[in-house]
Structure 1
Amino acid sequence: MIAGTARSGVWAVVPAAGRGARAGGELPKQYQPLLGRPMIEHTLRALAAHPRIAGLVVVLAANDVHWPGWRELEGKPVRTAIGGAERADSVLAGLDALPGKIAGTDFVLVHDAARPCLSHRDLDALLDGEAPQGALLAVPLADTLKRADADGRVGATVPRAGLWRASTPQCFPRDALAQALRAAKAAGVTVTDEAMAMERAGFRPALIEGAADNIKVTTPRDFALAEFLLARRALEPKP
């Protein structure tokens, strides 16, 4: 079990300072509607409704005029912080904004604002994993992979054995993650997820298999799929 989650719950950092230009639309993608509510609301409620989540830190852009000002969701406290130009800057700001009672060795979740379809089943799997060096949700690759050549033709077929598609949440000790992110930044390395920073620091995070429907909304067509998944989940019997 992830350290500390049974004792007092775990806090989640949600970076939401980007715009998501590939999604199109006039609003930043995290505020575009899904089933009549902003996508970020679905994401935050999916986290906050889980009994082992203690609170949330949402990292916003400095000029964000769309944030509704939530201070509590599903009975859990919601804090905010101002993010930076890169994901790592925003996650660091979120870590700094955690309550002072969160120790450096306590585990913290980081979850994409654009993953509104997170299930409690996946969160349980992550939090219950034996992962002293941290863990992340991920999905084993099932498709055949092709590497393109310079002309846009098939250059090679890439073996998929052992390959996973990284997802979120990802869960690491607060101080170790902050140090890994700062080290990557100092080295001029742009990390695309928290696990990459931890790998650079010598850690070996555990891969916890999650559901393929924990999609990241990136392009306009993803909104329809996310709405379908959320609507289907709403019809499922509650555990």
Structure 2
Amino acid sequence: MRYTVMIPAAGSGTRMGAGKNKLFLKIGEHPILYHTVSIFQQDPQCEEIILAVKTEEQATIQEILKEHSNITFVEGGGERQDSVAACIAAYKGEGIVLVHDAARPFLNSLVIEALVRKANDTGAAIAAVRVKDTIKFAENGTVQQTVDREKLWMVQTPQAFRYELLKKASDQAIQDDFLGTDESMLVERLGYDVSIVESSYDNVKMTTQEDLAIGEILLARRK
């Protein structure tokens, strides 16, 4: 089933402490962003990749992705939500759209397929994995409650939506001056159900130096 993916790539990645856009850091022979975009470039069901970038970084990114095609570049915003809104504005279709973190380069193609099908059926679906650790709710450094982890999920991307639903949620957030942590949150606040597709723990986000070390292991295992 065909889809378009929107990738916000205009963040700063300050927690990585690299002194530059973390997406330019290499795992193996290529930058993180190269690996992420390649996932969708190699998927015959992906119709278009819409990439939100900083204007001053676009030339560098185009050089990194010179082997790739069918990419539409848009100017990213100060917040992730602004970058996704710019991607939404650039989309010309009416089908299923995915939003994916640029710093998640180890996505499983089977998860993409499951998300697209679920979003087509229900309107909205997100990738997530089950919480493995015991979770405590605490206030002022004191445990108040042990939370039932059977009901808890760690949310990842992609997040998949029917285009009209994502646009409606994004437009409403802009109108309300509401800033959400992810696209699912924007859809949830309108009262729509969001389905979960169980993902893989390999789909880790490259956030810290430790994550890069994990990325090297994952890349070697895939090879």
TM (normalized to structure 2)?
0.92
Equivalences for residues 79-228 of structure 1 within 5 A: 79-98=72-91, 100=92, 102-103=93-94, 106-129=95-118, 131-150=121-140, 152-228=141-217
Residue 133 of structure 1: how far off its partner (Å):
1.6
- 1:77-108 alpha-carbon deviations (Å, 9 max, x no partner): 1110001111111001111222x3x12xx111
Given residue 147 of structure 1, which amino acid in structure 2 is its aligned partner? F
Percent identity of paired positions between Structure 1 and Structure 2: 35
Residue 12 of structure 1: how far off its partner (Å):
0.5
Q: Alignment partner of 2:44: what SS?
A: coil
Q: C-alpha separation between the residues in 1 aligned to 2:6 and 2:145? A: 39
Aligned to 1:67: 61
CA contact (8 A) 1:184 1:200 kept: no
CA contact (8 A) 2:128 2:198 kept: yes
Given residue 109 of structure 1, which amino acid in structure 2 is its aligned partner? L
CA contact (8 A) 2:3 2:116 kept: no
Q: C-alpha separation between the residues in 2 aligned to 1:72 and 1:202? A: 42
Given residue 56 of structure 2, which amino acid in structure 1 is its aligned partner? N
Q: C-alpha separation between the residues in 2 aligned to 1:133 and 1:122? A: 16
CA separation of 1:97 and 1:71: change in aligned 2, threshold 3 A: farther
Q: Which runs of 5+ in 2 are unaligned?
A: none
Given residue 212 of structure 1, which amino acid in structure 2 is its aligned partner? Y
From 7, 10, 13, the counterpart of 2:6: 13
Moved more, 40-49 or 60-69: 60-69
Aligned residues: 220
Given residue 117 of structure 2, which amino acid in structure 1 is its aligned partner? D
TM (normalized to structure 1)?
0.86
Q: Alignment partner of 2:126: what SS?
A: strand
Q: C-alpha separation between the residues in 2 aligned to 1:27 and 1:156? A: 40
Q: Give the CA RMSD over aligned residues.
A: 1.7
Q: C-alpha separation between the residues in 2 aligned to 1:166 and 1:83? A: 23
Q: Which runs of 5+ in 1 are unaligned?
A: 235-239
Residue 186 of structure 1: how far off its partner (Å):
2.5
Structure that is richer in helix per residue: 2
